[in-house]
């Protein structure tokens, strides 16, 4: 057994022991027990670093699969890694871009702006003007950031994934994680990690978002410098602004936080309902409020994709939520892969109706509590939740939380209403839907004629 394998085994087993003690050997309530173990797993993942940080980040956006307590705890995960000396990154940049750094950048700061388990980011200044795929030209002297995959990272992360698979295959771990498709989750994680190890993927997604929002003066995405990009290096426009934890400073500078909250929520609905591509990791570090009152999107590591048919079904599900119509929500959720067994339909419908009345009624809505409550309801009843469905619910809840930091009284369902109406109209006009509804329309017409 390698030293890393020994470290992983000891750290995770110790976390399990501490969780058992904190939960009084299982004598506390189920929610307290889950919270105790979640906190210990998060601390263990922080200690292990590497792929475990990235795995924790994936868990944080999948409450449908891993439960609310663990997902919420993993949102607090901190990527505390020591910076790599710039001397080790310089040859990676030059080999990747095929030129000396002095010809690529007027200057580059050796002290990093940010460090993480996969990459490190350094501020730089362009040596030559560049015409990006979208947007205005970046002139000579434009401020950019250079994101570089840390040396040895790919091999280390792949080793960690292999170790995670080995650990997850143990009988005790399988029992602790019963109800979770561990193999599928680790396979999904490994594929996501491979995409993250090629920084060009992030660049292409950023350009796609820039294209989607090109008519919107309130949304900005960093421009990518493709002549200074490779699998291990990505150069992009530098963004300045305030994180959501710094909003008091932004408002003092004259930024209209309330207007941006509504605009940001509307922009997300456009991503889901109109474009079929949405930023699925909108935590505060991935959003800036800029000095000129725009919203800057950063870090496109987790992106959701939806087909036109799925967008129509999602609109119907949201309409069920808005109008507290449990039957509609369940009927169209089935089209998205959430299939309720016949013998559980009545019970699930009743529980969903109660949840809708509790969280979406009384003149105000609380989508976060509703969304996570709905996923929990499905999970308690042993109903499989497709990964895309859970990811979207989590993303909507996150957007509501982000918007409420800017504007506490925002109603995310009111923002969604016009998009839902439009999508339902469009989906009902699709040929496959018309074909599906024709027999029902014909039978109804015959009953009227023969009455």
pLDDT tens digits, one per residue of 420-437? 887 777 765 555 554 555
Q: Distances in Å between the alpha carbon of 71 and those of 67, 82, 109, 405, 435? A: 6, 26, 36, 20, 42
Q: Longest C-alpha distance within the chain, in Å?
A: 86
Could you tell me if 134 and 67 lie in one domain?
no
pLDDT band at residue 87 using 50, 70 and 90 as cut-offs: very high
Q: Kindly report, residue by residue over 89-142, the tens digit of the pLDDT.
A: 999 999 999 999 999 999 999 999 988 888 999 999 999 999 999 889 999 999
Could you tell me if 8 and 72 lie in one domain?
yes
Task: Judge contact between 89 and 230, C-beta under 8 A.
Answer: no
Check residue 362 and give its pLDDT.
62
Of 79, 113, 136, the last residue of a domain is 79
Identify the domain containing residue 412 by its residue range: 242-434
Could you tell me if 280 and 226 lie in one domain?
no
- The sign of the dihedral angle between the CA atoms of 192, 198, 200, 203 is positive
Check residue 167 and give its pLDDT.
77
Check residue 241 and give its pLDDT.
87
Residues 6+ apart with CB under 8 A from 225: 126, 130, 132, 138, 144, 235, 236, 237
Task: Answer whether residue 299 is part of any domain.
Answer: yes
pLDDT band at residue 305 using 50, 70 and 90 as cut-offs: confident
Check residue 432 and give its pLDDT.
55
Task: Answer whether residue 251 is part of any domain.
Answer: yes
Could you tell me if 206 and 121 lie in one domain?
yes
Of 79, 110, 128, the last residue of a domain is 79
Could you tell me if 26 and 153 lie in one domain?
no
Could you tell me if 116 and 224 lie in one domain?
yes
Check residue 80 and give its pLDDT.
66
3-class DSSP state of 235 = strand
pLDDT band at residue 180 using 50, 70 and 90 as cut-offs: low
Could you tell me if 129 and 262 lie in one domain?
no
Check residue 204 and give its pLDDT.
94
The H or E element that residue 115 is part of is strand 114-115
Q: Which residues pair with 235 in a beta bridge?
A: 146
Task: Answer whether residue 283 is part of any domain.
Answer: yes
What does the block give as tokens for 418?
A: 């016009």
Please name which of 26, 38, 30 lies closest in space to residue 66, comparing C-alpha atoms. 38
Which carries the bigger pLDDT value, residue 130 or residue 370? 130
Could you tell me if 46 and 138 lie in one domain?
no
Task: Answer whether residue 360 is part of any domain.
Answer: yes
Which carries the bigger pLDDT value, residue 61 or residue 417? 417
Check residue 443 and give its pLDDT.
55
Task: Answer whether residue 215 is part of any domain.
Answer: yes
Check residue 144 and give its pLDDT.
98
Backbone angles phi, psi at 371, to 5 degrees: -60, -50
Whether the per-residue pLDDT at 27 is higher than 80: the answer is: no
Could you tell me if 302 and 405 lie in one domain?
yes
Check residue 434 and give its pLDDT.
47
Residue 344 to residue 384: CA distance in whole angstroms: 13
Which carries the bigger pLDDT value, residue 302 or residue 284? 302
3-class DSSP state of 121 = strand
Whether the per-residue pLDDT at 161 is higher than 80: the answer is: yes
Q: How many CB atoms lie within 10 A of CB 381?
A: 13
What does the block give as tokens for 76?
A: 């607090």
3-class DSSP state of 301 = coil
Average pLDDT, integer, range 54-78:
77
Check residue 187 and give its pLDDT.
82
Task: Answer whether residue 439 is part of any domain.
Answer: no
pLDDT band at residue 258 using 50, 70 and 90 as cut-offs: confident
Could you tell me if 117 and 193 lie in one domain?
yes
Could you tell me if 233 and 322 lie in one domain?
no
User: End-to-end alpha-carbon separation of the chain, Å?
Assistant: 80
Check residue 145 and give its pLDDT.
97
pLDDT band at residue 441 using 50, 70 and 90 as cut-offs: very low
Whether the per-residue pLDDT at 446 is higher than 60: the answer is: no
Which carries the bigger pLDDT value, residue 95 or residue 371? 95
Backbone angles phi, psi at 334, to 5 degrees: -60, -40
Average pLDDT, integer, range 26-37:
82
Could you tell me if 191 and 153 lie in one domain?
yes
Of 64, 79, 94, the last residue of a domain is 79
Average pLDDT, integer, range 311-338:
88
Task: Answer whether residue 108 is part of any domain.
Answer: yes
3-class DSSP state of 166 = helix
Q: Kindly report, residue by residue over 188-214, the tens digit of the pLDDT.
A: 778 878 888 899 999 999 999 999 999
Task: Answer whether residue 442 is part of any domain.
Answer: no
The number of distinct structural domains making up the chain is 3
């Amino acid at each position: 057994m390698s030293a890393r394998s020994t470290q992983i085994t000891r750290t995770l087993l110790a976390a399990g022991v501490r969780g058992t003690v904190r939960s009084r050997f299982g004598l506390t309530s189920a929610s307290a027990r889950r919270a105790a173990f979640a906190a210990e797993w998060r601390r263990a993942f922080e200690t292990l670093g590497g792929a475990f940080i990235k795995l924790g980040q994936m868990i944080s956006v999948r409450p449908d699969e891993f439960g609310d307590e663990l997902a919420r705890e993993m949102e607090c995960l901190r990527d505390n890694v020591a910076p790599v000396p710039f001397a080790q990154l310089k040859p990676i940049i030059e080999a990747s871009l095929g030129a000396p750094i002095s010809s690529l950048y007027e200057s580059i700061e050796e002290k990093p702006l940010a460090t993480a388990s996969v990459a490190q980011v350094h501020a730089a200044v362009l040596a030559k003007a560049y015409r990006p795929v979208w947007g205005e030209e970046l002139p000579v002297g434009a401020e950019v950031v250079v994101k570089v995959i840390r040396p040895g990272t790919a091999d280390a992360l792949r080793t960690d994934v292999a170790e995670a698979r080995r650990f997850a295959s143990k009988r005790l771990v399988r029992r602790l994680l019963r109800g979770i498709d561990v193999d599928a989750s680790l396979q999904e994680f490994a594929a996501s990690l491979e995409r993250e190890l090629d920084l060009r993927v992030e660049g292409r997604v950023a350009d796609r978002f820039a294209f989607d929002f090109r008519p919107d003066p309130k949304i900005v995405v960093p421009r990518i410098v493709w002549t200074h990009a490779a699998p291990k290096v990505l150069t992009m426009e530098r963004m300045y602004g305030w994180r959501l934890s710094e909003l008091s400073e932004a408002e003092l500078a004259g930024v209209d936080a309330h207007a941006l909250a509504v605009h940001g929520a509307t922009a997300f609905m456009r991503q889901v309902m109109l474009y079929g591509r949405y930023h699925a990791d909108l935590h505060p570090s991935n959003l800036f409020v800029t000095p000129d009152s725009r919203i800057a999107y950063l870090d496109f590591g987790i992106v959701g994709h939806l087909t036109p048919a799925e967008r129509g079904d999602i609109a119907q599900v949201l309409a069920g939520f808005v109008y507290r119509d449990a039957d509609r929500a369940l009927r169209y959720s089935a089209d998205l892969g959430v299939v309720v067994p016949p013998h559980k339909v009545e019970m699930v419908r009743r529980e969903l109706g109660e949840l809708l009345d509790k969280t979406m009624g009384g003149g105000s809505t609380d989508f976060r509590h509703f969304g996570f409550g709905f996923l929990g309801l499905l999970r308690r009843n042993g109903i499989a939740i497709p990964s895309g469905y859970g990811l979207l619910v989590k993303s909507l809840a996150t957007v509501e939380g982000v918007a409420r930091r800017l504007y506490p009284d925002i109603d995310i369902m009111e923002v969604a209403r016009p998009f839902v109406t439009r999508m339902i109209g469009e989906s009902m006009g699709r040929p496959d839907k018309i074909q599906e509804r024709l027999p029902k329309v014909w039978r109804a017409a015959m009953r009227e004629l023969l009455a």
